[in-house]
Amino acid sequence: QVQLVESGGRLVQAGGSLRLSCAASGCTFYNYALGWFRQAPGKEREFVAAIVRSGDGTSYADSLKGRFTISRDNAKNTVYLQMNSLKAEDTAVYYCAAKDVSFLSGLSRSSNWYNYWGQGTQVTVSS
């Protein structure tokens, strides 16, 4: 079974940077599309970014484009989310998600498309 383990979430001051990591196991990592989502208290889960299995295609929430960067290292079975210029509104639990696309292509901004999820890591931005 696919397992995703996230790390890197912490308290950070506004304007700072943070890199989240999500390590995958139990899968042929290079056959999975990956995404990052976040959920703030009282709000719905929100799409952040996604990346195709080859790593050469990405998608971002419009409001986050330019500040956040998703990347993957297939040799390390890890997907990253680099977050810069953090704002208080970025405070949320951040989740990584994966979907087997061995016989598919592309990615999705919909949380329902993904069938494997990490435990989430808390990011708190203090202003």
Supply the pLDDT for residue 26.
87
Whole-angstrom Cα distance, residue 51 to residue 106? 8
Whole-angstrom Cα distance, residue 101 to residue 96? 16
What's the token pair of residue 98?
């994966």
Q: Mean pLDDT in each 10-residue stretch from start to end of the chain (127 residues)?
A: 95 98 92 96 96 92 94 95 97 97 88 96 96
Pick from 56, 52, 67: nearest CA to 18: 67
* Distance between first and last Cα of the chain: 40
Whole-angstrom Cα distance, residue 49 to residue 65? 9
